[in-house]
Structure 1
Amino acid sequence: MSLAGCLGGSSNSTSLSVGIPSSSTTTGAASNSFQRVVKEQSGDTEPAGEIRWQNQETGGDPPSLRQFSQGNLQALTAGNFIAASAQEDQPPFAEQPLDTLPNQMFSISSLHMHVLSVNGSGIETTDDLVGSNFWALPPSWGLRQQAEAVFSNAGLWSELQDTDSIVNADTGDVAGLIEEGNIDALIAYGAGFQNLAGWATEVDARADLQLVEFSDSLVEAANDTRGTSHSELDVYGWEQQDFQQDQMDVYGADFQFWLGSDVSRDVGYELARISNENTESIQEGQPAYLDHSDPETMASLYLEDMPVHPGPYDFLEEQGVDMSAYTRGDE
């Protein structure tokens, strides 16, 4: 069915509640910028009508997926790793599997996860993290679940837990905890070769850090973990640090918008058109937002074993994108 008019307004309007982790995250900033552009570009015209893209902070993509399954959200941002985990009833969904999953909508950005330590901590490789105070992202995040999977595959996560090395804290507390000496090392990320998340720019301004080298076991573990792999990239995003090196070890995390199958094909099509035709405006609010002026890029992060919403699917097919590897979602 269509959600047109179900949340108020005329029968020619659609209100979408969209789950984001927080506005200080890369995907939250992307969705906030997309919300602004949708408001500017969406009109009260047939067949899609007016679209209201309304962001709701949930604390992470696992909570967003749970809220979606309960019928409280119609769209969300989420990483491919955590969406695949939900599809396969893997942690954190193993004990409480989800009844309903959203369709893939289109790409947001690829994140580059890396590890840093406080200068003077003595932590130079990921093997040195055991026994330290290590912040591995907020427990409610899909990125935290991905980190746990990577470090578990390397045999490190259980050692970190056994030595009480894991620090659980929200992003807004990290810079202060570093200054207080309560965090020795952390996981951070850059997005799309453009920037850091908002919370990480505060850490950059207030902490003296160095990059941590991935041990061989962590490199192998990243390559063996579903949805990610290890690579070495040029350092970017850190403006206040003097790393004394040009490259950093990273593992990847791909993020997309996701849209419920109850949302009409026409609304999904219009959202894809708006993103394709207004990339520069969206990037004003989040430079890491992928360049959707090339429709191929919109499809670049699709998973082959999860359906694509029929609206974006049809739009991209009309733009000449080869969609034969993907399944068109049910209307």
Structure 2
Amino acid sequence: MPDRSSNRRTFLKVTAVTGTVGVAGCIGDEDVDPDEEDPLDEDGDEADANGEPDEDREHHIDVGTSAGGTMDVGLAVEQGVAEESDTLSYSTVESPGYVGSTYRMNEDAFDAAFIDTNTMNKAQEGLDMFEEDPVDQLPWQGMLAFPYSIYMMARDGTGIETFDDLAGASVYPAEPGYSTRATTLDVFEQDPIADVYDEMDIVDMDVADAPGAMEEERIDAAIAYGTPGIGNTGWVVEYDARVDVHYVEHTDALIEAIEQFPGAGLSIYDDNPGEEFAWDQDIDTDEIAAWDLNVTVATHPETPDEAIYELCRVGAEHGDTIRNAEERFTPENAEDLLQGALDDYPFHPGAAEFYQDEGVWDDDWVVGDRDEVGEYFD
């Protein structure tokens, strides 16, 4: 991964891209039960997209997209492609979360999908749900769509000042089933901070109930997360309005844990981080260290190279068009599409060609070979 730096938008980004004529078409009859939900779905937004292939364009891709905020970003990308490409058409297809999208694309249900890099890493390593139910092929990397930066907050009056103080505290890592929770607990399980995690009292409840539980002092500390430069997610905004909180100071051990976990990126925000995440109160810090859940557009291996190349071009050159429809799409150029890329994990060859042409490719990265689709597992 790229080295972290200290600036206003030092967040790690990735994405994978989408797909092709005829690989997937439509979602089939298989019933895939995802093990976790889209972390952006907590606000309950729902959207339907009925994009039809444009017969005047050379390539068409169907893109699996979770409901809620992810759907908002997906529809914005669809709009950007419609306005800025003469060769590619794009249809949004609702899909059941990031894990469910991984399984559906494995069954050739569509050409690309919004999937977070932690889920992709687990699929490659056969961890968690993929240990008992592995996929036959990985979704290949394409381009970043948006990051969620995750960090720790504590109620005032708890005596919690640093990450080490979370030992023995009641800690809320988001609702069971959320990818933000899964990524947080994966980070906490890393050796440098596992001893602190072992002593935490982990709280399980719906995100809708968490602000009230914090107000009632049943939760000492909770994660916060949001898109940098835009703000926190809805339930965090609610506890910001109801409870006096402060940032839990990161330790060197926490930084080390984030850096060594391959499913998350490290970001340091040191230019007015309270404003970066739109806090409505003084959170008592000049610097936030966050672990990032990077949501990407990942591709089916058989999606035509030309289609993925064009998708990446639109993302890199016309991000403003996409952001006019949904501001959470964060990449502003080709390099942004790559930040946070997974090492030793295949890129779609169409994406790789685009990044090579733009001069932002790292020769240590892996270009997927369609003759070796099943060979990229650890």
TM-score > 0.5 by shorter chain: yes
Tell me which of 56, 64, 67 is aligned to 1:18: 64
Q: Residue 289 of structure 1 corresponds to which residue in structure 2?
A: 329
- State the distance in 1 between where 2:340 and 2:254 align: 24
TM-score (normalised: structure 2): 0.71
**CA shift in 2, pair 1:76/1:248, >3 Å:** same
- State the distance in 1 between where 2:343 and 2:202 align: 34
Q: Deviations over 1:42-73 (max 9, x none)?
A: 55x5xx4x32133x2534x3333233334444
Q: Residue 121 of structure 1 corresponds to which residue in structure 2?
A: 158
**2:347 counterpart SS class:** coil
Q: Deviations over 1:169-192 (max 9, x none)?
A: 444443344345443321122434
**CA shift in 2, pair 1:63/1:199, >3 Å:** farther
Tell me which of 25, 38, 44 is aligned to 1:6: 25
- State the distance in 2 between where 1:170 and 1:15 align: 35
Q: Which runs of 5+ in 2 are unaligned?
A: 1-19, 27-51, 371-378
Task: Kindly indicate whether residue 311 of structure 2 is the aligned counterpart of residue 271 of structure 1.
Answer: yes
Mapping of residues 1-331 of structure 1, within 5 Å: 2-3=21-22, 6-7=25-26, 14-20=60-66, 22-24=67-69, 29-42=72-85, 45=87, 48=88, 50-54=89-93, 56=94, 58-59=96-97, 61-153=98-190, 154-155=193-194, 156-160=196-200, 165-228=201-264, 232-234=268-270, 235=273, 236-292=276-332, 294-322=333-361, 324-330=363-369
Q: Deviations over 1:239-273 (max 9, x none)?
A: 31212332223334444221112322232122122
Deviation of the 1:131 alpha carbon: 4.1
Q: Residue 42 of structure 2 corresponds to which residue in structure 1?
A: none
Q: Deviations over 1:198-243 (max 9, x none)?
A: 4433443343321112345434433332344666522121331212
**CA shift in 2, pair 1:92/1:137, >3 Å:** farther
Q: Is 1:151–1:221's contact at 8 Å kept on the other side of the alignment?
A: yes
- State the distance in 1 between where 2:110 and 2:159 align: 45
Q: Is 1:113–1:189's contact at 8 Å kept on the other side of the alignment?
A: yes
Calculate the aligned-residue CA RMSD, in Å. 3.1
Which AA in structure 2 matches 1:51? Answer: Y
**2:132 counterpart SS class:** coil
- State the distance in 2 between where 1:129 and 1:206 align: 21
- State the distance in 2 between where 1:201 and 1:119 align: 16
Q: Residue 4 of structure 2 corresponds to which residue in structure 1?
A: none
Q: Is 2:163–2:251's contact at 8 Å kept on the other side of the alignment?
A: yes
- State the distance in 2 between where 1:215 and 1:272 align: 37
**Further displaced range: 222-231 or 203-212:** 222-231
Aligned residues: 317
- State the distance in 1 between where 2:77 and 2:219 align: 34
Which AA in structure 2 matches 1:35? Answer: E
Q: Which runs of 5+ in 1 are unaligned?
A: none
Q: Deviations over 1:261-302 (max 9, x none)?
A: 23222321221222223211222344453333x322223332
**2:366 counterpart SS class:** coil
Which AA in structure 2 matches 1:64? Answer: S
- State the distance in 2 between where 1:204 and 1:34 align: 31
Deviation of the 1:87 alpha carbon: 0.4
Deviation of the 1:136 alpha carbon: 0.8
**2:115 counterpart SS class:** strand
Q: Is 1:17–1:72's contact at 8 Å kept on the other side of the alignment?
A: no
**Further displaced range: 222-231 or 139-148:** 222-231
**CA shift in 2, pair 1:14/1:301, >3 Å:** same
Deviation of the 1:328 alpha carbon: 2.9
- State the distance in 2 between where 1:100 and 1:214 align: 37
Which AA in structure 2 matches 1:318? Answer: D
Q: Is 1:269–1:314's contact at 8 Å kept on the other side of the alignment?
A: yes
- State the distance in 1 between where 2:105 and 2:177 align: 16
**1:94 counterpart SS class:** helix
**CA shift in 2, pair 1:275/1:199, >3 Å:** farther
**Further displaced range: 235-244 or 178-187:** 178-187
